[in-house]
Amino acid sequence: MGNHIYIAMPVMALLAILQSSVLSRFPILGVVPQLLFIVALAWGIVRGLEEGVIWAFIAGICVDLFSITPLGLSSVAFMAGVGAPLLLQQALPPRRLLVAMVMAALGTLIYLIVYIVGLRLFGFSTPLNGLAGLLPMIGLHAVLIVPVYVLIDSFLRTFRPRR
């Protein structure tokens, strides 16, 4: 395991606190973006599938610590939502912003499906007619991935230049 895990743990913990305390008070288009999911996906786009899935696992645990859902459900949903688009990344053009946006939309859709199915399996009631209200989250994540991706890419280029 690389040194990135030592970065992932405090970053995701701080983002979970920020998301649960600040972002939940200011929804955008009626939804609260999953900032931890976006960061994990952007990290995976830049650094690869293995690191992206590890960041998604850590992000999911941090999210679950601030919610009433079963511990680990967000991790499974995040890992599915990050892993599936990153597997498709090899077939797509390398590191383009439009590709990142498509991957964020696809990953968010997969994350939401896995999360809702998991909630229903654990006995939480989720109205199926409210699923159309989650479409703004897909578009919002597709837009928010751009600044996060650019920030992570420039951070890694500055502190870890390629040889």
Structure tokens at 89: 């990344």
Give the tens place of pLDDT for each residue, 120-133. Answer: 899 888 776 666 77
- Residues with Cβ within 8 Å of 80's Cβ and at least 6 positions away in sequence, in order, are 110, 111, 114
> Which of 47, 50, 70 lies closest to 60 in space, CA to CA?
70
* Mean confidence (pLDDT) of the chain: 89
Residues facing residue 31 across a β-bridge: 28
Q: What is the pLDDT of residue 55?
A: 95
Give the tens place of pLDDT for each residue, 7-19. Answer: 889 999 999 999 9
Give the tens place of pLDDT for each residue, 16-43. Answer: 999 999 988 988 888 889 999 999 999 9
Helix axes 35-47, 97-121, angle to 10 degrees: 130
